[in-house]
Each structure stands twice: as structure tokens, then as C-alpha cells.
Amino acid sequence: MKKYVCTVCSYVYDPAVGDSSVDIAPDTAFEDLPDDWVCPDCGVGKEMFEPEED
């Protein structure tokens, strides 16, 4: 699964890890995150994330 990077603060969402701060389980794809999920570091929405370059 692809990692996604916040364009505001550079936080990397890693699907292998998930987001324990809001009970997002490991192996949750970015596309499967709830629509109201926000960056845990700066609070922007999913629309501010881009796929990480290989």
C-alpha cells in the first residue's frame, strides 16, 4: 500500500502503521480512511495529502 504525505507539514501516513491516535488500525489504506480523518500533526484534511514519490 502506498504512503501519503501531508503537503502542509510533511507528515507521512503509512498504511502499514495506521493512526493509533484515532484508532485507525494498521493495514488501513489511505483511501479507506474516514472522510473526516485529519492529519494528526497539523489538522488538515485528506485533500491536502499526496501519494509519496517512489
Name residues of the chain where pLDDT drops below 70: none
pLDDT at 54: 74
pLDDT at 41: 97
pLDDT at 28: 98
pLDDT at 29: 98
pTM for the full model?
0.93
| DSSP secondary structure of the chain | ---EEETTT--EE-TTT-BGGGTBPTT--GGGS-TT-B-TTT--BGGGEEEPP-
pLDDT at 3: 98
pLDDT at 30: 98
